[in-house]
Chain A
Amino acid sequence: MKTTIKTLAVSAVAATALLGAGTAMAEGERYVLVSHAPDSDSWWNTIKNGLALAGEQMDVTVEYRNPPTGDLADMARIIEQAAASGPNGIITTLADPDVLSGPIRAAVESGIDVIIINSGTPDAARGLGALMYVGQPEYDAGFAAGQRAAGDGVSSFLCVNHYISSPSSTERCQGFADGLGVDLGNQMIDSGQDPSEIQNRVTAYLNANPDTDAVLTLGPTSADPTILALEQIGLAGEIYFGTFDLGGDIVNAIRDGVIQWGIDQQPFLQAYLPVVVMTNYHRYGVLPGNNINSGPGFVTADALDLVAELAGEYR
């Protein structure tokens, strides 16, 4: 009997504590990040971690949402719905302006502050009434990478595009081709998202086009299977290999000399900074005066240790 009373008392205290915590949270600002990534895209884990860390440090509620299959029309619905739930701010990507600008503009006009991250351009963000754009200008990043590769003597390449339905993926390949000073033509393949399919297609392309100088991948989804493909056909370390974005396998491959460089757009900052910026804006009314370029930064075999330690988590 005594124990029962004790249990009751303890649970009552616990319940009160929980309730107390609940009200404290309700006073904090709430921010929703809507991405365009399908569940299967591991790269976005860094974004999730950056978002969670910012929420913790700034003492605000943060939520991450995405369309499970990567269908951008579904993403538009998620933005509409995030707006209906009345958050203080929405952080979202502009993967396809045609589909997303309507819902984003409606959110802005119903009084919710919006920051565009990752995909999109500073101009497009301004046009939608967003506070700012935090990300890496994709075409410029591809162009810079192309110039770098041209300096290293590359004149033809294969672009492994695992997300061909996103215009910004194609811009990366186009920028790279323009940076090299060659025509994109048929040098971009639609690899799909499945690792073994990507591996097979890369192998098939390189067998059919043996004079290809370089391989460009657009993220871990296409880079990891491409590394395997190159190892299998004995081109690992032989062919010039550059990639967008970082991940565990990519970092190892950079260290082993299979990949020459990775372009880090520092996704951590894309999730972390908007939360910090918006919280300070809502609390103290201060706002940085410009857009924030989170990348491009080239990661090479030099000074790789910190990157390696945090790859896939915060890098």
Chain B
Amino acid sequence: MSSTDAAVDERIKETSKLRKALIRPELGAIVGTIAVFAFFIIFAGDSGMFNAQGVLNWSTVSAQFMIIAVGACMLMIAGEFDLSVGSMIGFAGMSIALISVTLQWPIWVAILLTFALCTAVGALNGIIVVRTGLPSFIVTLAFLFILRGFTIFFPQLIERRTIIGGISERAEGDWLAPLFGGKIGNGLFNWLAEMELIGVFTRGNRMGEPIVDGIPMLIVWAIGLMIVAHIVLTRTQFGNWIFASGGDAQAARYVGVPVNRVKIQMFMFTAFCACVFATCQVMEFGSAGADRGLLKEFEAIIAVVIGGALLTGGYGSVVGAALGALIFGVVQQGLFFAGVESSLFRVFLGVILLFAVILNTYIRRIITGER
């Protein structure tokens, strides 16, 4: 008997390489991404969608979706939902505005306090879910209203308005703010403009400067979060715990997985992602509004589902969710470029969602062999 024969375990069913390549959760999202880009290159190729300004536009929108989709994806794999993401975005932004502008505390204190506050609310969400055994759908729905209510109430009570500006002035010279609102690669884009590869402003006091002068930190955060989450999920013991908690919580408990702790941590991570989104937005625009982040929770869930995750937990991929966010962003902005009536965007969104779910269900049946 040779050593190679011994390495083959007869208990493991043999699968062909092609089949292995096909049965990945992100397959649907990969196919979708290719299809969406092909579609828009054909129908909106010369509309400015693929010039530097256009690319930056849909990348930024996709990155926004990606940040909250990564959190929602990890949580969904752990078997829970968070419907309070959108309200959390509004809440976090308003918290930064109130602390920095109204209380006049430094921006970095405002950001750190807000992150602490948001992850604490995330933990509270998680603790209520695991202690009461109620569906996370209901618990986080409650927080959707609670957080949104506070986001409107406090600024009105304190400042008598619901949009608080002046954060840009407060953020000047702060050490932490550029990490969220800054841009990187300025030199590269100046060079590109000198080589006449990208457009420059033709008038005004920024004449001669490139129209795109850097990559927003928002995009850097999105890619960073995706990579970290992907490594944690696929390469660590903790990642296995997340899958186990969402797959079958009871079975996971029997083999010693701290299911409750994992779930609470995932709620905190989702809140953290929402807070990153809000901080980037507030630092970029310099104001916080009570209506920010409306319906973003569903956009996050849609991106995750397009990315191949299972609504019931235990199955999914962060890369898939990120691609789902990319599809979402490209479709949303691309339809405008292609000149489609903007009210039809939701129709397209629904159709894509439906297709993605059908395709993903089919892929999952192949994997699990269920009928």
Contact = CB atoms under 8 A, between A and B. Distances in A.
Interface of A: 39, 63-66, 68-73, 76-78, 80-86, 96-99, 102, 105-106, 108-111, 129, 164-167, 170, 190
Interface string B27-59: 000000000000000000001110101101110
Contact of A70 (B211, B291, B345): B291
B342 interface: yes
B293 A71 contact: yes
Contact of A39 (B48, B287, B291, B343): B343
Contact of A86 (B48, B204, B292, B345): B48
Nearest to A82: B336
17 contacts: A39-B346, A68-B342, A69-B291, A69-B295, A72-B163, A77-B61, A85-B48, A85-B54, A96-B163, A96-B165, A98-B286, A99-B286, A108-B203, A110-B201, A165-B152, A166-B163, A190-B156
A76 B202 CA distance: 21
Contacts of A106: 201, 211
B350 to A, nearest CB: 13
Contacts of B53: 80, 83-84, 110
Nearest to B165: A98
A76 to B, nearest CB: 7
Contacts of A70: 291, 294
B289 to A, nearest CB: 5
A96 B211 contact: no
Interface in B288-332: 289-295
B289 A96 contact: yes
B289 A81 contact: no
A99 B289 contact: yes
Given A65-B342, A109-B207, A190-B152, A85 B162 contact: no
A167 to B, nearest CB: 6
B162 A81 contact: no
A310 to B, nearest CB: 22
Given A81-B333, A96-B165, 13 more contacts: A65-B336, A66-B342, A77-B333, A81-B58, A81-B337, A84-B49, A84-B51, A84-B57, A85-B49, A85-B336, A109-B203, A167-B161, A190-B156
B215 to A, nearest CB: 14
A96 B290 CA distance: 12
B202 A73 contact: no
Interface majority SS on B: helix, strand, loop or mixed?
Answer: loop
Contacts, number: 114
B155 to A, nearest CB: 10
B133 interface: no
A110 B199 contact: yes
Interface residues of B, number: 47
A77 B343 CA distance: 16
B201 A109 contact: yes
A71 B292 contact: yes
Contacts of A80: 53, 56-57
Name which of A65, A84, A85, A105 has the most chain B CB atoms within 10 A of its CB: A84
Nearest to B47: A85
Interface in B317-370: 333, 336-337, 339, 342-343, 345-346
Contacts of A97: 165
Given A63-B339, A190-B156, A73 B290 contact: no
A102 B285 CA distance: 8
Contacts of A77: 57, 60-61, 333
List 5 tightest A-B contacts by C-beta distance, closest first.
A98-B287, A109-B204, A84-B53, A98-B165, A165-B291
B84 interface: no
B270 interface: no
B51 A68 contact: no
B281 A73 contact: yes
Interface in B132-166: 152, 156, 161-163, 165-166
Contact of B285 (A76, A110, A170): A76
A111 B289 contact: no
A97 B166 CA distance: 11
B204 A96 contact: no
Contact of B290 (A65, A68, A164): A164
A83 B346 CA distance: 23
Contacts of B211: 106, 110
B227 to A, nearest CB: 24
A165 B290 contact: yes
A83 B57 CA distance: 10
Name which of A76, A82, A97, A164 has the most chain B CB atoms within 10 A of its CB: A164
A78 B342 CA distance: 11
B162 A129 contact: no
A6 B287 CA distance: 63
Given A71-B291, A109-B201, A64 B342 contact: yes
Name which of A78, A86, A109 has the most chain B CB atoms within 10 A of its CB: A109
Contacts of A86: 48
B81 to A, nearest CB: 20
A98 B285 contact: yes
Contacts of A109: 201-207
B43 to A, nearest CB: 13
A211 to B, nearest CB: 23
Nearest to B207: A109
A69 to B, nearest CB: 4
A111 B202 contact: yes
